[in-house]
Amino acid sequence: MSKVKAAKSAYEELGFRDADEMLLKAQLAVKIAETLRKRGWSQQQAAKALGLTQPKLSGMLRGQFRGISEVKMMECLLRLGRGVKIVVGPEGKRTAGRVEVVAA
């Protein structure tokens, strides 16, 4: 089982009806955290640069991202100089599409 499927399954087992959304937010939060670590910024510095309060950023980095939209998280990545690419394409024989974060 891939890491993505395992993570989605974990959200489903916890009873989240929006498992896909939660997984996407978790993946985006990981990329934000990685970028902040590489820069060595404090949460206060990062929050100011990202247009968030420090408590909101802290919660997001600890996986508490309810109330923070995927768009806001993508905006954070853009403010950090990361590119965000959205690709819409065929999914093959699946009945439902999927959304995932792929690091470049």
pTM: 0.76
* pLDDT exceeds cutoff 80 at 71: yes
The total of other beta-carbon atoms located within 10 Å of residue 56's CB is 17
Q: Which pLDDT score is estimated for 21?
A: 83
* pLDDT exceeds cutoff 80 at 85: yes
At the top level of CATH, the class of 3-79 is mainly alpha
Of residues 62 and 100, more confidently modeled: 62
* Percentage of the residues of the chain whose pLDDT score is greater than 70: 71
77 closest CA partner among 23, 34, 19, 18: 34
The predicted-structure confidence for 5-56, as pLDDT tens digits, reads as follows: 555 566 566 666 677 788 889 889 999 999 999 999 999 999 999 999 999 9
Alpha-carbon span 85 to 100, nearest angstrom:
11
